[in-house]
Amino acid sequence: MTYVEGFVLAVPADKKDAYRKQAADAVPLFKEFGVKRHVEAWGDDVPDGKVTDFKGAVKAEEGEVVVFSWFEYPDRATRDAANEKMMSDPRMKEMGADMPFDGKRMIVAGFDSIVETGERGGMGYADGFILPVPEGNKEAYREFAEKASKMFQEHGALRVIEAWGDDVPDGKVTDYRRAVKAEAGENVVFSWIEWPSKAARDEGWAKFMADERLKANHDNMPFDGKRMFWGGFAPILDA
């Protein structure tokens, strides 16, 4: 199963091109370190929430756009080795000296995939989700998410990943637990759905929400949906 390093950050809208260039320039370096796939997705349909949302997760300011990003690794050992190399490589230090965003408000953590359906390739749009799940509900959540992932694929999704918090550090300014207002005994899930296009995503969601199987499971969700947040993102890098 894939090991995921998940990132959420706020980037000034007028620095989109600079951010994309820096990310693209880093691709060969990250590949050298062991990253199998590197995705950067620019906020496109990111709603305000009543309790939690992507903007609040990174304390986004006026004129900033939320970026949903991830690295895919074959396992945690490869990810840990890559992080050690990144911390000591002078090329990384040089890159970090001129970042087009506030790194102090970026949240990052390691997640172990528990549901992985579909195949990579052809992604034109992504839905991203962050949510809290009680530790004791891990298996119930996995079963719930697996059923939902198959429904999404029936309705046009290319790939669905559900990843369980494995290395989720506390941050000084922001972090995943604060983002979802996690309570004692809860873990954080980092999840996304890949679609061929935004149009396919909109059509797929309409069918998903009307699906009778969803209605049957709505009252038995193994997590607090009020603290889950989500958004639609347009990929600006998929390497």
Handedness of CA 60, 95, 42, 239 (dihedral sign): negative
Average pLDDT over residues 15-42: 97
For 153-200, what is each residue's pLDDT tens digit? 999 999 999 999 999 999 999 999 999 999 999 999 999 999 999 999
pLDDT digits (tens, 9 = 90+) for 3-15: 999 999 999 999 9
Say what the pLDDT of residue 98 is.
86
What pLDDT score does 190 carry?
A: 98
**pTM given for the model:** 0.96
Segment 11-28 mean pLDDT: 97
Output the domain CATH number for residue 104.
3.30.70.100
Number of structural domains found in the chain: 1
Mean pLDDT over all residues of the chain?
Answer: 95
Q: Report which of 137, 138, 136, 188 is spatially closest to residue 167, judged by C-alpha positions.
A: 188
Average pLDDT score over residue span 136-163: 97
The answer for residues whose C-beta is within 8 angstroms of residue 153's C-beta and 6 or more apart is 117, 118, 160
Confidence at residue 120, expressed as pLDDT on a 0 to 100 scale: 87
Name every residue whose Cβ is closer than 8 Å to that of residue 144 and which is 6 or more positions away in sequence: 217, 220, 221, 222
Give the structural domain span for 184.
3-238
Give the sign of the dihedral formed by CA 187, CA 134, CA 174, CA 146.
positive
